[in-house]
Structure 1
């Protein structure tokens, strides 16, 4: 026999049916139907808005992110994922500090905490090394956002500024080169306006004395004046040659023409050109090069280097002094040395000695004037030949100019 519901149970069932009927009536009422449609419309509009926002963010060139108050990423766009080389699912909910070396994590999160705390916008530049060992320079702009509930978020934009920074560095380098070229131009004008004028005046004066001496049949004096004229002309020709070579080197007109050359014979040729000036100051020239040493290089450039170094040594060596040119083999290169027992050069002057823009020229032991161009040209040519040049000197103890050239280039 089936148990019948009690009166109380029937009353409860009737009450439940009335409640459900009332809920159904309210849901079916025009007002509630309208509210339902409005709610569904709002949800739909929010969904469309979210899709629009996502599309806009993903089509931005800059990387965009939103972090919560724990610096966890809650929103990133495609550009952000692409910049860091990480999938979105690996980024979301993380701080990215996991991808930073442990010793840098504190500084990585410090700026986030500061912006979240004081609300002040921060723009920071840093060098970023990515997983593929690719280095870029990024600029990050961060600001705080507080929603209706009072929760704080960090909104940021990351921009790759590597190209602009490289362009800025290139511009600074070009500006520096332009300044150097301008200083070189001023130096060249000074040489042409002063250093060429002085020796030409000397030649003119000596020629007039020579004419008078010939008229008076003073043979000894004539020979003396003639020797000085020859020396002065050779100095002037050397200066003109340096000017021409320097100008050609700056415009790229000097070509590298290597050939197999015998070093002792090249040094002897340079000695022949330099001996009249050395003899006038009673300075001896000696070489200690082995007859077997040969090198494959540009003979004209090498002679210009040696001629200028020897000329410089003569200028700063006193009467009765000596200059020794030596060559030694060092594995696959040759080291040249032009050493004198002259005045020597202090450390401060030595630092700028090979720079064209530096005004390092000074009077020689016989008050000889120089242009300061010769040593700069030596550095330029040694570099073109694939070698290095330097100076070993101490004031009062002479100077030793050394340079190396590869045996074969």
Structure 2
């Protein structure tokens, strides 16, 4: 309901604010002529009423909250939008600073900007949060100095609710960030497909052709060596293809977690038996020190992918004659799996981008093995989907420890 000032309201305002009447008389115009001060109060009040009706009509047609303060920061004029914003009637606002509604220790800072604008005359535009009726909004407040013909100072302000604009800006920033991530993912995948997959397949084709052309001249020992190269290359390529497929699924939310009861540590024995030939090819010792058997409820296929990636990574960066040890520990709620190697290790700078596909940098293994860097990124994603955590401890030249912590049952 719009406020319609009565005659008595105007008398009360004039008495209470003293100088408001003179300011309105000096600044209001009727029919293009300045209103001049009259000696008779009834005529003066009539003109004030006409002037205020015009002012209220003009200000109330503005969508923003508008206010005028005197040199003591007391409100002398507000429009309907201002009253609606603060959910207060006009009679509870006029003559107040609204600092009365904040704690005593905050009042000075509440009026600090008012004092500065009134003192130096420099316009101030400020963004801040405003909590009203339990709802927090973001507002932009613009305050300017106005000096009337008598030299009296007033503060003219406009408050605009910019919550929706800020929300849209934040959504745009998030969208831009997501686009950059997706673009980095796309570039990484194209790089892997264009370069990393060509090498392994060329090895398979080249060695198989050599075996085919020279079969009658090959000794059994040499044939076995070539066959082992084909076998290990095929396995690593298949693992890379699996990683690419799983990564694509995880990025499009097509990967579904399927919890099942798994006897631990049987699942690690299975992966170690698959990875041991690769370790033996580099003369690396691959040991698993099992704990007692217990049940863990998780997605077995995803856990196998993580273990395979981490063990393959350890083999890649461990020198011939080196050692990789898999340790496990369990309490009432979690199991911790550690893949420890005495390989080349990493610097702190390398570890920072280890699990980030956009900043990930790949390195050659100890026998110049190539890699995409996708395995560790994928492992981080998968461990997170299993409600677990992965971290790494490493020192350049002294090996690395990758630790996975998983809940025994977090899928109920």
Deviation digits for residues 245-286 of structure 1 (CA, Å, limit 9, x no counterpart): 111111111111111112312112212221221111111222
Is residue 206 of structure 1 aligned with residue 170 of structure 2? no
* SS at 1:344 equivalent: coil
Is residue 99 of structure 1 aligned with residue 112 of structure 2? no
Aligned to 1:233: 234
CA distance in 1, matches of 2:176, 2:274: 40
Aligned to 1:9: none
Residues 86 and 326 of structure 1: CA distance in aligned 2, closer, same or farther (over 3 Å): farther
Which deviates further from its counterpart, 145-154 or 368-377? 145-154
> Does the 8 A contact of 1:213 with 1:221 survive in 2?
no
Is residue 218 of structure 1 aligned with residue 219 of structure 2? yes
* SS at 1:376 equivalent: helix
* SS at 1:105 equivalent: helix
CA distance in 2, matches of 1:293, 1:85: 62
> Does the 8 A contact of 1:317 with 1:341 survive in 2?
yes
Larger radius of gyration: 1
CA distance in 1, matches of 2:388, 2:63: 47
Aligned to 1:397: 398
CA distance in 2, matches of 1:209, 1:368: 21
CA distance in 2, matches of 1:376, 1:152: 63
CA distance in 2, matches of 1:174, 1:304: 31
CA distance in 1, matches of 2:163, 2:325: 53
The structural deviation recorded for 1:58 is 4.7
Aligned to 1:69: 71
The structural deviation recorded for 1:293 is 2.5
Aligned to 1:123: 125
> Does the 8 A contact of 1:128 with 1:137 survive in 2?
yes
Is residue 289 of structure 1 aligned with residue 290 of structure 2? yes
Residues 123 and 320 of structure 1: CA distance in aligned 2, closer, same or farther (over 3 Å): same
The structural deviation recorded for 1:356 is 0.6
> Does the 8 A contact of 1:209 with 1:225 survive in 2?
no
* SS at 2:255 equivalent: coil
CA distance in 1, matches of 2:290, 2:136: 50
Runs of at least 5 residues in structure 2 that lack an aligned partner in the other structure: 1-37
CA distance in 1, matches of 2:95, 2:48: 23
Is residue 50 of structure 1 aligned with residue 74 of structure 2? no
The structural deviation recorded for 1:402 is 1.1
CA distance in 2, matches of 1:148, 1:363: 80
* SS at 2:265 equivalent: helix
CA distance in 2, matches of 1:184, 1:140: 42
Aligned to 1:4: none
Runs of at least 5 residues in structure 1 that lack an aligned partner in the other structure: 1-35
Q: If each structure's helix is expressed as a fraction of its own residues, which one has the higher value?
A: 1
CA distance in 2, matches of 1:214, 1:70: 102
CA distance in 1, matches of 2:168, 2:331: 41
Aligned to 1:159: 160
* SS at 1:354 equivalent: coil
Deviation digits for residues 355-376 of structure 1 (CA, Å, limit 9, x no counterpart): 0111321011111111011111
Aligned to 2:19: none
Residues 386 and 104 of structure 1: CA distance in aligned 2, closer, same or farther (over 3 Å): same
Aligned to 1:312: 313
Measured on the aligned residues, the alpha-carbon RMSD in Å equals: 2.4
* SS at 2:201 equivalent: helix
Please give the TM-score of this superposition, normalised by the length of structure 1: 0.84
* SS at 1:192 equivalent: helix
The structural deviation recorded for 1:323 is 1.6
The structural deviation recorded for 1:107 is 3.4
Aligned to 1:144: 145
Residues 159 and 192 of structure 1: CA distance in aligned 2, closer, same or farther (over 3 Å): same
The structural deviation recorded for 1:196 is 0.4
How many residues are aligned here? Answer: 372
Which deviates further from its counterpart, 392-401 or 54-63? 54-63
> Does the 8 A contact of 1:283 with 1:323 survive in 2?
yes
Residues 85 and 397 of structure 1: CA distance in aligned 2, closer, same or farther (over 3 Å): farther
The structural deviation recorded for 1:330 is 3.9
Deviation digits for residues 39-81 of structure 1 (CA, Å, limit 9, x no counterpart): 9677546424424543554564322211100111122234334
* SS at 2:111 equivalent: helix
Is residue 253 of structure 1 aligned with residue 221 of structure 2? no
